[in-house]
Amino acid sequence: MIRPVLAVCLCALLSACASRPAAPNARLPAPAPSKDPAKPVGLSAQDLHIFFGAPAFIRKENGAEMWRYDSAGCRAFFFLHPQGDAQIVRLVETIPRGARTAADANCLAVLRARPPGS
């Protein structure tokens, strides 16, 4: 007697699941780039200036820009490319290079910590 009741309940559950309309396959918007100076790829030129101050040198060529920052122990090169109306950091390299990447995190931390105008 229990088995027929169980079978009816299972059929009711399955039909309830099947009758629900499927959610549309909507694409979620891409997350906004984080404004984390430790991960500068994706920063705008304005944010780069806020986090690192004025660069020691800027080179402009064919719409792209290279900003160089100097400290006593290292140099950082930020390569910015146009995106809409803004310039966005696409690549960062330091001298000395990082252990596993082109940018050394310690160098970037030193450059962020220096007083403005130094």
The model's pLDDT over 29-74, given as tens digits with 9 standing for 90+, comes to: 444 445 655 678 999 999 999 999 999 999 999 999 999 999 999 9
* Residue 109: Cβ-neighbour burial (10 angstroms; 0-12, 13-18, 19+): exposed
pLDDT in tens, 79-97: 999 999 999 999 999 999 8
Domains of the chain, start order: 39-118 (3.30.1450)
- H helices present in the chain, as ranges: 2-19, 45-52, 105-113
Specify the 3-state DSSP secondary structure of 73. coil
Burial of 69 (0-12, 13-18, 19+ CB in 10 A): buried
pTM of the model: 0.66
